[in-house]
Amino acid sequence: MKKVVVTGAKGGTGISIVRVLREAGFQVLGIDLKPCEFGEKDYQQLDLEDGAGFHDASAGADAIVHFGSLPNDSWVPWEATYRNLALGGYHVLQAAANLKIPRVVLASSPMIYGKYHRVPYLPIDEATPASPDGIYGAVKQNLETLAAHYARWHGIAIAALRPQRIVYEASYEWRFRNYTANDTSAADALWSYIDARDVATACLAWLQSDRTGFEIFNLAADDVCVTTPTRKLLAEHYPQVTDLRGELSGRDSLISCSKIKKILNWKPVHTWQMMAAESATKGNSKTPPART
């Protein structure tokens, strides 16, 4: 059984990652800032700014999945955001190098692209020019560059995932329903989204692959999160983007995931309509987690 260290294990996305990896047969050590619950096993409370502590916790691991960072730069000063993202990410990469851990997944961000009204073409793909609007996207971009060097220097296979707006399990009511209510609410994000369970299977796909080097992958559902056809949405909200690539028939997503589908044979399976149905059947928690 291979051991995987998952940072951000108690966050909204981390919970799904831990569960999916354990169901796939991995031994998972969860790491987060939150305290350990009574009787909880295979978990360690740790701040990723503690490089020595993370190094020791990662000993014997076969892979690291790093989702333990702030979700944006709006909660804390930019200096704190920079330290959290840059130093935490560096400690993950350096631990992998020191301990000869061969595979790493990093949570990157679509904030690297900047505001979508400035993109030169649609759908967005991994080659879309970077134009971050704040420290969060800029540091994530820098971390990707650093990861590419670590892959080259140390032979580590590293995937940087750029997930769109993540919908945590059982979070549809409080986190996402309002974005599906009309054509305007999610226009700034190109009506894109991804279920945390699909983020988890993307992590799993990289860990189970034999791909080497460094890769960047977009992650998004295959459809937009409203019932209006995609081309009609574009005509109303993005008329300045005239370079449209692909058929864009029906309600096709404006985030291209062709690369990860081709390389890792991954595909998203959870739609917002499925989330809504789950919400109606099971009911959802109204209280969001403290971290992602």
H/E stretch holding 149 reads helix 135-154
pLDDT tens track for 99-122:
999 999 999 999 999 999 999 999
Range of the domain at 82: 3-168+196-220+255-269
Within-domain flag for 227? no
Within-domain flag for 54? yes
Within-domain flag for 248? no
Within-domain flag for 157? yes
Within-domain flag for 281? no
Distance CA 163, CA 139 (A): 16
Q: Are 33 and 53 in contact (CB under 8 A)?
A: no
pLDDT number for residue 70: 86
Distance CA 146, CA 158 (A): 11
pLDDT number for residue 286: 46
Distance CA 128, CA 125 (A): 6
pLDDT number for residue 283: 58
pLDDT number for residue 180: 96
Positions in the chain short of pLDDT 70: 1, 283-292
Within-domain flag for 135? yes
Within-domain flag for 109? yes
Within-domain flag for 97? yes
Q: Are 132 and 114 in contact (CB under 8 A)?
A: yes
pLDDT number for residue 285: 47
19: domain CATH number is 3.40.50.720
The phi, psi pair for 142, rounded to 5°, reads -65, -40
Total of domains in the chain: 1
Which two tokens mark 68?
């333990």
